[in-house]
Amino acid sequence: MAIKSRNKVEPTFNSSSMSDLVFLLLIFFMLTSTLVAPNAIKLMLPSSNSKTMAKQTVTVYVNEQFQYFVDETPAEDSQLTDLINAKIGNDSQATVVLRSDKSVPVQYIVNVIDAVNEINNATNNNHKVILATSPKK
C-alpha cells in the first residue's frame, strides 16, 4: 500500500497577498504626504476675505524676528534684489508671493516691494508682488 501525501506543492503564484501589501503602502504614502507642511517657515499670516490666486515664481518670507528668506534661503536686506532677480531668471511675468508674519512692521514689507520694483525698472518687466493672507474665521 503506497502512502500519498495530502499537501501538494503547486507551481502557481498567488498574488492576492502582494496586491494587499501594495494597497497598504499606497494608503500609507497618501496619508503621510498630506501631513507634510508646504511652508517650512512658520508664520502667523494676516487674515483677509480676498481670494487672489496666482502662479507663484518666488516666495519671500519675513518672520517675527524680521529676518528675510527667499525660497527658504536666509537673506539680508541688501541681498534681496540680487536673490529675487536670480530666482526670477528670464520670466517676464513672474509673481513674488510675500509671506509676512502679522507682527512685522510695514517697513519690512515695503523693502521687499522696493526690491521687486528695482528689478522691474532695471529689466523693463512687470513683476507683481502678492501679500499672502490666511482666511478670516
CATH 3.40.50 fits 47-135, yes or no: no
> DSSP label at 89?
T
Question: Taking the model in full, what pTM does it have?
Answer: 0.62
* Cβ count within 10 A of residue 118: 15
* Cβ count within 10 A of residue 84: 25
Q: Which three cell numbers stand for residue 123?
A: 529689466
Helix, coil or strand: residue 54: coil
**What's the pLDDT score for residue 68?**
92
pLDDT tens, position by position, 83-97: 888 888 888 788 888
Provide the residue ranges of all domains of the chain, joining segments of one domain with +: 47-135
